[in-house]
């Protein structure tokens, strides 16, 4: 029916009012492309609105999206897989554990960019990454480090800027979140506010302050993401979270209460006596934040 309606719409056989009614009854909303940056109710691949994230954390979605893969592996047609953008999944560790459980002998690599001093999380049951970190090291062969100071002087003279690297990164993260991911940030802040409204310490935290606090923690996060999963969190991830929140509090003392709350949530050090629903909601926020 939808295909026929679309054909008639393109051929001009359908009146404008009927076209608008047909489009209005769909499961999606047609809108100006920039709207996605500020109003969005689904997860996407970075800022590409047309690439919707598949919710493979749901069993039926996992089964459907892998139905072609299993026969190829079982037939020996392929012996390894590359998981694209593993950090974009809701729960990368759980996904990889299920993949490994189904195919114990499969050679699995993940597309992930590691910082120079960052290690692949040991909880990931994979053979390694696709090699972006190695490529960065190889590319250094083509760079003459002796010219670094010359380039720094030229850049500073030309731009008039002498901003420390970490400060520049935080500034650009804020700019990117404000311009291209405002809808994503708003969704997280709204969800967190709805959960904190049930907490006597959190109900007075405003949506505006929570939104700012979320942005500040992200702006100061030292690595791409952390990995909280069913069995907890690594000590390295705890260090990253504490580093980000300390930097955020140093730069934004007026947000100290909100930042303290977010730190507790991310580290899962809240009241152990909370009810099941609250725990599930905080857990969901952490995964969304990651």
pLDDT (mean) for 223-246: 90
Lowest-confidence region among 178-187, 258-267, 269-278: 269-278
pLDDT score recorded for residue 285: 96
Contact indicator for 37, 43 with CB cutoff of 8 Å: no
Same domain for 14 and 56? Answer: no
pLDDT at residue 235 greater than cutoff 70: yes
Q: Is 71 in the same domain as 173?
A: no
Looking at the structure, do residues 195 and 254 belong to the same domain, yes or no?
A: yes
pLDDT (tens digit per residue) in 21-73: 888 888 888 888 888 888 888 888 888 888 888 999 999 999 999 999 999 99
User: What does the buried/exposed string (b/e) look like for 179-209 if buried means 16 or more CB atoms within 10 Å of the residue's CB?
Assistant: eebbbbbbbbbeebbebbeebeebeebeeeb
Domain contains 153: no
Identify the domain boundary among 140, 157, 173.
140
Q: How confident is the model at residue 117 (pLDDT cuts 50, 70, 90)?
A: confident
CA atoms within 13 A on the CB side of 193: 17
* Residue 106 burial (C-beta neighbours within 10 Å; 0-12, 13-18, 19+): middle
Residue 159 lies inside a defined structural domain of this protein? no
Rounded CA-CA distance 95/101 in Å is 10
- Please indicate, yes or no, if residue 262 is contained in any of the structural domains: yes
Please check whether residue 38 lies inside any domain of the structure: no
| pLDDT at site 157 | 94
Looking at residue 12, its pLDDT comes to 59
Burial class (CB in 10 A: 0-12, 13-18, 19+), 77: exposed
Distance from C-alpha of 240 to C-alpha of 254, rounded to nearest angstrom: 22
Are 199 and 284 found together in one domain?
yes
Res 64: pLDDT = 97
Same domain, 136 and 193: no
pTM of the entire structure?
A: 0.86
Domain range for residue 207? 165-289
Please report whether residue 253 resides in a domain. yes
Q: Say if residue 26 is in the same domain as residue 72.
A: no
Residue 156 within any structural domain of the chain: no
Q: How many domains, in total, are found in the chain?
A: 3
Instruction: Report percent pLDDT > 70 for the chain.
Output: 94
pLDDT at 23: 81
Indicate whether 218 and 120 sit together in one domain: no
Can you tell me the distance from the alpha carbon of 271 to that of 30, in angstroms, rounded to the nearest whole number? 44
Which range has the worst mean pLDDT, 35-44, 88-97, 217-226, 235-244? 35-44
In a domain, 149, yes or no: no
Beta-bridge partners for 80: 107
Distance from CA of residue 253 to its chain's centroid?
Answer: 26
Q: What angle do CA 191, 193, 235 make, to 5 degrees?
A: 75
Q: Among 1-15, 71-85, 245-259, which is the least confidently predicted range? A: 1-15
**What confidence tens digit (pLDDT) does each residue in 126-141 have?**
999 998 888 988 998 9
Of 89, 124, 140, the position where a domain reaches its end is 140
Check pLDDT > 70 for residue 6: no
């Amino acid at each position: 029916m939808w295909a026929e309606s679309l054909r008639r719409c393109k051929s001009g056989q359908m009146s404008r009012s009927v076209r608008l009614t047909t489009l209005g009854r769909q499961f999606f909303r047609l809108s100006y492309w920039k709207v996605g940056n500020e109003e969005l109710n689904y997860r996407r691949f970075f800022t590409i609105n047309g690439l919707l994230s598949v919710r493979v954390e749901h069993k039926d979605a996992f089964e459907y999206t892998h139905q072609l893969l299993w026969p190829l592996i079982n037939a020996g047609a392929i012996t390894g897989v590359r998981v694209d953008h593993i950090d974009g999944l809701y729960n990368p560790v759980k996904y990889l554990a299920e993949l490994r459980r189904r195919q114990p002998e499969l050679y699995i690599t993940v597309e992930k960019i590691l910082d120079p001093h960052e290690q692949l999380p040991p909880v990931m049951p994979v053979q390694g990454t696709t090699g972006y970190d190695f490529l960065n090291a190889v590319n250094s062969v083509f760079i003459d480090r002796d010219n670094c100071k010359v380039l720094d002087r030229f850049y500073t003279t030309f731009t008039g800027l002498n901003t420390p690297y970490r400060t520049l990164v935080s500034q650009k993260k804020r700019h990117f979140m404000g311009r291209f991911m405002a809808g994503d940030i708003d969704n997280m802040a709204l969800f967190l506010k709805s959960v904190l409204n049930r907490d006597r310490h959190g109900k007075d935290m405003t949506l505006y302050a929570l939104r700012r606090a979320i942005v500040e923690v992200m702006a100061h996060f030292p690595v791409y993401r952390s990995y909280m999963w069913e069995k907890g969190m690594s000590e390295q991830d705890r260090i990253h979270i504490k580093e980000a929140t300390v930097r955020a509090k140093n730069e934004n003392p007026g947000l100290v209460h909100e930042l303290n709350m977010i730190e507790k949530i991310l580290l899962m050090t809240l009241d152990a006596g909370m009810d099941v629903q609250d725990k599930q909601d905080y857990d969901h926020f952490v995964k969304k934040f990651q």
